[in-house]
A and B are shown apart, each in its own frame.
Chain A
């Protein structure tokens, strides 16, 4: 009887430790904690070029992460990229004339969306559209333009 009791206790500890490990993986390692925030809202923004932006890329404001990219689509009318942003519910006072730009973290890092607050008194609601956007900087285009202007400059 004693034997079986201690067996049961160790088995209980094993199962609890396994579940605790899963819990650590969920809360500490992965981003599950964010999904519990159900008060989030979605806005869309249209970009000429999104470069290497991906679904789940971060959306930041003054460097603080305020949301994630939820969806990326191509607009059939304008042939621009339509990006759906999932913004967290606790950042609900973002002005409607906020500008969205695509930046790169570091020289070779991943791309993210940076928001710059406007001055409007009204705030973004679920389903709103951000009008002021700035496309991603594509390195090849920049170098190409630089070389082109350099060549033109030599002609003069």
Chain B
């Protein structure tokens, strides 16, 4: 009995300790960010591996998500004779929700897992401790540029996702289903607000980029330095990122759009 309670206590303490380590880690990253300005080439390389390599996945997924939205939305709207509203449906669902959320989930799977594996492997092959021995702070040299790259890439990827998705919805709506293109675009413009809809979506994607990159880097930095440990850390990155994205999305949606 006592043993059970004790193990529960150990689990609780361990969780909080990890949470605390994660936050200290975040503060050290944030403190290291101003220095990146001096070494922009590091940031550019990370933008390439985190952002550019995810573009293809984001574009293809965005196109298909938009096309599916167009098809499904049309089937529902045509019953009410409101198929001209298809543009509104596609643009609002992409800009407010699907753009930030789906691209963040894809980003966690594509870039987040790669970041964890890379940092975890650096740790297990003792490259990070090697840097420390040479008086190079690995957080400033390795982690901070990756963090900033994730933070910058995510809103850009989400914007690409939404724009391509709306184009996909237009392709299906106008090309396949014959919705009038003038009504499609004009209704979209009437109902989609720059501040309320587009900017709130951008804020969402920045928050998701922050959280996903933080989780991915911390999991890698905190991984058990074995091949099994790195594997587990990579899995945890994807799982925890997905939880964080979907949970935060609910909170952000309630704050941004809850009062309408």
Contacts and interface: CB of A to CB of B under 8 A. Distances in A.
Partners in one complex: yes
Interface of A: 4, 7-8, 10-11, 13-15, 17-19, 21-22, 24-26, 28-33, 35, 56, 58, 65, 106, 108-109
Contact of A31 (B80, B160, B194): B194
Given A108-B80, A109-B82, 14 more contacts: A7-B45, A11-B48, A15-B51, A18-B155, A21-B156, A21-B164, A22-B202, A25-B162, A25-B198, A26-B194, A28-B185, A28-B189, A30-B192, A30-B197
Interface string B156-185: 110110111010000000000000000001
Q: Chain B interface secondary structure, helix, strand, loop or mixed? A: helix
B47 interface: yes
29 contacts: A4-B44, A8-B44, A11-B48, A11-B52, A14-B47, A14-B48, A17-B160, A18-B156, A18-B159, A18-B160, A19-B156, A21-B156, A21-B159, A21-B164, A22-B156, A22-B159, A24-B163, A25-B166, A26-B194, A26-B198, A29-B188, A29-B192, A31-B189, A31-B193, A31-B194, A33-B189, A35-B194, A56-B193, A58-B190
B55 interface: yes
B95 interface: yes
B124 interface: no
Nearest to B91: A29
Contacts of A109: 82
B7 to A, nearest CB: 48
Contacts of B72: none
B41 interface: yes
Nearest to B55: A14
Interface string B35-72: 00000010011011001100100000000000000000
Contacts of B45: 4, 7
Given A4-B41, A30-B189, A56-B193, A21 B160 contact: yes
Contacts of A22: 155-156, 159, 198, 202
Given A14-B55, A15-B156, A18-B159, A29 B198 contact: yes
B47 A15 contact: yes
Contacts of A19: 156, 159
B55 to A, nearest CB: 6
Contacts of B155: 18, 22
B189 A29 contact: yes
Given A18-B156, A21-B162, A30-B189, A10 B52 contact: yes
Shortest 5 CB-CB contacts between residues of A and residues of B:
A18-B156, A32-B194, A21-B163, A21-B159, A30-B194
Interface string B15-44: 000000000000000000000000001001
A69 B33 CA distance: 45
B95 A25 contact: yes
Instruction: From A15, A31, A32, name the one whose CB has the most chain B CB atoms within 10 angstroms.
Output: A31
Interface string B85-99: 000000100010000
Given A26-B194, A31-B189, A31-B194, A11 B47 contact: yes
A28 B41 CA distance: 34
Nearest to A33: B189
Nearest to A26: B194
Nearest to B192: A30
A21 B152 CA distance: 14
